[in-house]
Structure 1
Amino acid sequence: MSGQGPISYWLSTADLTPRAALPGSTDADVVVIGAGFTGLWTAYYLAAADPGLRIVVLEAQVAGYGASGRNGGWCSALFPASPAAVARKHGVARASALVAAMRDTIDEIGRVATAEGVDCDYAKGGTVVLARSAVQEARGRAVVDAEAPFGTGLAWLAAPEASALCNATRVRGGTYTPHCAAIHPGKLVRGLADAVERLGVTIREQTRVLRLQPGRVETEAGSVRAEVIVRATEGYTAGLPGHRRLLVPLYSLMAVTEPLPASFWAHAGLARRETFSDFRRMIIYGQRTADDRLAFGGRGAPYHYGSQVAPAFGQDTRVHTAIDRTLVDLFPALGPRPPVTHRWGGPLGVPRDWTASVGLDRSTGLAWGGGYVGDGVATANLAGRTLADLISGRDSARARLPWVGHRWPQWEPEPLRWLAINAGLRLAEFADAREARTGRVFRPAAVLGHLTGE
């Protein structure tokens, strides 16, 4: 893993000794590209259903190196496109079915973790999203109203109720859903890789895929021939020939504090390890870890021309400074400089229409799952189960959910892509600052909702 840059707190707790690389060309029934959550869950459910399948997982680094080992640890029922956006294309009933499937997925991950002996610090405390201004309160109440027809379980909390869960500053109210578990994603992804191997799957790490085509994956060490090829590369998809404009890699950055004393938590709350955020436009996200740290992150890092991905991009000083500043604003008891021990970042995969997708092209044998826009911890499990159904030919309710078979439109060519994405990021930042200063909605920013699956 040389040249990777700082790894996440989550991965710093794991043994990252690489598994053996692909020794040469071979044959398989199914080859999976990417040993993150999507690839590993797909292999897990395929192998559990059919132990005779020859499954090979190829990973350029080590299992969990990408977003699966770098995220905020929200195992949530969030889907990147809102239920209303899904309903506009597929109807309320099918949108509600997707919501129900996502809700069930939270419990499924907990069930498998227990069954496989993976201690991933799973705590189903739900999510509280705070409203900390009049603009945010209006936005939060509108979200509750918009989701009511779909059974998401989202409820509005008055200020005392919201503060009782997460006692940040200036709380006017908030939303709460029970459908989220805080987890240690590093423990989950590394434990899942071990479970997959116990089922007889071969994982080849330190094996970079150069290109893929129907029936064949070429790597630096040789080729793997298989009837079915699963692309599970998420934020690294643009690096594959022919996929440059399919998913753009946008960076999300995180920090973790040292373990905080009981006196801090007695005031701050998060007693059931609720995950938390607020209703600003530029997304923030946090959790209380099992060892009493604050794990906190946010968006805002620039998109890099040509969909470039590099370790240095996860160390954006401006964004990490903003993360510190936001932490102190939320929880002044941290002091003027929060006691951060780890900082990192990583790319997530963003499709042009902000809608995650899973599918199998039976004419070519090429399958895919991804486009989670940062909501992938649970969605990847649903993708893995769905891909296992599609590949094995099993008819199931999962295989008929509205995201199955969805095809993404291509992103614009450069330099339009670079200009538009970075302009959108700066607009979100400006809108947050303007709304905080004036107390009024910055209406030109409404265009962001049309671009982000709302």
Structure 2
Amino acid sequence: MGCPLNLWGTTEVTRSPLPGDRDADVVIVGAGYTGLWTAYYLAKADPSLRIVVLEKETVGFGASGRNGGWCSALFPASAQKLAGLPGSSREAAIEMHRAMQASVNEVGLVSAAEGIDCDYHKGGTIVLARSQAQLARARAEVAEAHEWGPGDLRFLEADEVEAQVRATKVLGATFTPHCAVIHPGKLVRGLAAVVERLGVTIHEQTPVSAIERGRAVTPYGVVRADVVVRATEGFTPALRGEGRAVAPVYSLVVATEPLDDATWDRIGLADQPSFSDHRHLIIYGQRTADGRLVFGGRGAPYHFRSRVRPAYDEEPRVFAKLQATLRDLFGLKDVQFTHAWGGALGVPRDWCASVGLDGGLGWAGGYVGDGVSTTNLAGRTLTDLILRRETALTRLPWVGHHSRNWEPEPFRWLGINAGLRAMTLADTEERLTGRNSQIARLMAPLLGH
């Protein structure tokens, strides 16, 4: 397989570590999308604020620079779950859905306004149904979406699907216009440059060992601030006292060589919709601006005690499975794969992302892989909370939500890996029986549905 290479590139160390103790108005821990969007909106709202961002590695080192490039309106918890949160309602869940849709557009608008060339293209998302069980699930999803939202999720018959994408075994699909594809590396690096122009200070190679009221503690000094924001997503368990807050679960990605025009004529995807299918073990793909297929999915194991290490980015078995799945999806035979990489995403115990501010401690995360646009919403919401502005964003149901901790080990390791295995078995069950999986039905309450 060779060493994994991240198609989106990596950020070299260009910013100095924290030189010692310092004071700030806001200190943000983590220079990924959450931290940088928060810094951006705060700096735009109040240029006088002293904002410091601390990053253990380099800008975009985590999921922000490793994801599959979907800027979607997906939220990890279902509308029904959101409506059932304390103080929430059906109307609040619908408002959350609308806020997510607006966030997809906001990422594109800010990128254009600030000159961030991140290959943003809004072509929607098409999710294929390739078995009778998947077809039934697709129709049910559309019906549920019409009960809870503005009715923008459509069912496509097989001939309608072919007009957008020509995949194998297609019986139908769902389509939503609320998704754009991006180049994640260009977005995170461009956003970092913008916030620095706005006066924000970013220190790389500065690990934070503890977040406390009024301060962030590092080996090089303490940053004291009225507000401390945790924006660490899958790396959160490394912080003191946060070992069970989220579970770092790995998602892996492969990319092809640039494909020729004849191949694209056969595949379609001319308007660059992001694509997936209705299987249980998540897959996701996009056609990039330079004519490649980027394709990712779950299946890599969760590592004991929430460990996150560079060695875990490489899982040859999963890379091979992703390549085989993509070949099967589009009937590809001779295409070459040039890149393979991975990284950890943050999964809260109830699969519900959250954002909040309590006594000067702010946080956002638990996106379960749906973070590209959700981080933008988090940044705007944290800005309103920090500036004590009561807005429509601060009334959304995820604000102030606290997921309970994950179970201690070894139960966490056993449960998460059993769940991953169950999704694989559910897909196998459906292939063999042609009916909706009973395994998946039993697992649904554990996955935020």
- On the 8 A contact 1:18/1:206 being kept in 2, the answer is no
Which of the residues 92, 113, 129 maps onto 1:131?
129
Quote the sequence identity (%): 58
CA RMSD of aligned residues (A): 1.1
User: Please, which moves more after superposition, 162-171 or 118-127?
Assistant: 162-171
Residue 88 (structure 1) shift: 3.2
Partner Cα distance (1:114, 1:152) in 2: 28
**Deviation digits for residues 34-89 of structure 1 (CA, Å, limit 9, x no counterpart):** 00000000000000000000000000111111000000000000000111221233
Partner Cα distance (1:213, 1:147) in 2: 41
Match of 2:318 in 1: 319
**Deviation digits for residues 352-395 of structure 1 (CA, Å, limit 9, x no counterpart):** 0000000000x3x1100000000000000000000000001111
- Total equivalences in the alignment: 444
Residue 165 (structure 1) shift: 1.4
Mapped pair 1:82 → 2:78: yes
Residue 152 (structure 1) shift: 5.4
Residue 316 (structure 1) shift: 0.8
Partner Cα distance (2:439, 2:200) in 1: 51
Partner Cα distance (1:121, 1:305) in 2: 37
Match of 2:114 in 1: 116
Match of 2:398 in 1: 403
Aligned AA (2:374): T
Mapped pair 1:239 → 2:238: yes
Partner Cα distance (1:446, 1:341) in 2: 37
Which of the residues 17, 20, 32 maps onto 1:36?
32
Residue 332 (structure 1) shift: 1.6
Which of the residues 367, 371, 387 maps onto 1:372?
367
**Deviation digits for residues 148-191 of structure 1 (CA, Å, limit 9, x no counterpart):** 12225111000111122121100000000000001001000000
- On the 8 A contact 2:154/2:176 being kept in 1, the answer is yes
Residue 220 (structure 1) shift: 1.7
Partner Cα distance (2:320, 2:338) in 1: 14
Which of the residues 376, 389, 395 maps onto 2:384?
389
- On the 8 A contact 2:28/2:228 being kept in 1, the answer is yes
Structure 1 residue runs of 5 or longer lacking an equivalent are: none
Aligned AA (1:350): V
Match of 1:21 in 2: 17
- On the 8 A contact 2:425/2:439 being kept in 1, the answer is no
- On the 8 A contact 2:71/2:179 being kept in 1, the answer is yes
Residue 7 (structure 1) shift: 5.0
Partner Cα distance (1:342, 1:164) in 2: 29
- On the 8 A contact 1:84/1:147 being kept in 2, the answer is no
User: Please, which moves more after superposition, 17-26 or 366-375?
Assistant: 17-26
SS at match of 2:209: strand
User: Please, which moves more after superposition, 309-318 or 373-382?
Assistant: 309-318
Match of 2:54 in 1: 58
Structure 2 residue runs of 5 or longer lacking an equivalent are: none
**Distance of aligned partners of 1:341 and 1:152 in 2 relative to their CA distance in 1, 3 Å threshold:** farther
Aligned ranges 1:435-446 → 2 under 5 Å: 435-446=430-441
- On the 8 A contact 1:99/1:152 being kept in 2, the answer is no
Aligned AA (1:20): S
Partner Cα distance (1:163, 1:285) in 2: 18
**Distance of aligned partners of 1:360 and 1:7 in 2 relative to their CA distance in 1, 3 Å threshold:** farther
- On the 8 A contact 2:128/2:172 being kept in 1, the answer is yes
Mapped pair 1:103 → 2:101: yes
Q: TM-score, normalised by structure 1?
A: 0.96
Aligned AA (2:302): Y
Partner Cα distance (1:294, 1:37) in 2: 24
Residue 449 (structure 1) shift: 1.3
Partner Cα distance (1:366, 1:211) in 2: 12
Aligned AA (1:135): A
Aligned ranges 1:341-352 → 2 under 5 Å: 341-352=338-349
Partner Cα distance (2:375, 2:150) in 1: 21
User: Please, which moves more after superposition, 130-139 or 311-320?
Assistant: 311-320
Residue 206 (structure 1) shift: 0.9
